[in-house]
Amino acid sequence: MEAKELVQRYRNGETLFTGLKLPGINLEAADLIGIVLNEADLRGANLLFCYLNRANLGQANLVAANLSGASLNQADLAGADLRSANFHGAMLQGAILRDSPLEHGHSPGYEFNWGGSTGSGFKWCYPHRGLFAGS
């Protein structure tokens, strides 16, 4: 599926896209609030400034995805593979991070781009409600 088709189907009211294979898809600045992309393959996806509030990305493959400036407030990222994902400036207020490497701020073998901060400093990522150790 191409980005244009996904966005059009979403605009037409479809929200359930479980398990889709979308590696490298460009959804820059797309408004996908409440979309269900659990178990989707989004490796290397461009989600720059994407609106993903209340989205279900549980168990999704987001390896090397660009989530810079993305709005992920109240999104479900439980169990998502976030290795080498870029979260520079991402908003994660109330996001569900259970069983993801972000749950405790950092996990061995994972590297995150937090915009100039590593570990649990979160200089440019804005977690709230004590979801991260060290926040």
Task: Give kind and range of the element (H or E) at residue 3.
Answer: helix 3-11
Q: How many CB atoms lie within 10 A of CB 16?
A: 12
Residue 101 confidence (pLDDT): 62
**pTM score of the predicted model:** 0.78
Question: How many helices and strands in the chain, by DSSP H and E?
Answer: 1, 2
Q: Where are the beta strands (DSSP E) in 24-121?
A: 91-92
78-126 pLDDT, tens digit per residue, is: 999 988 899 889 998 988 888 766 555 554 444 444 444 333 333 334 4
Q: How far is CA 129 from CA 46, 60, 113, 120, in A?
A: 27, 23, 21, 15
113-132 pLDDT, tens digit per residue, is: 444 433 333 333 444 443 44
Residue 103 confidence (pLDDT): 52
pLDDT at 27 over 70: yes
Q: Are 47 and 66 in contact (CB under 8 A)?
A: yes
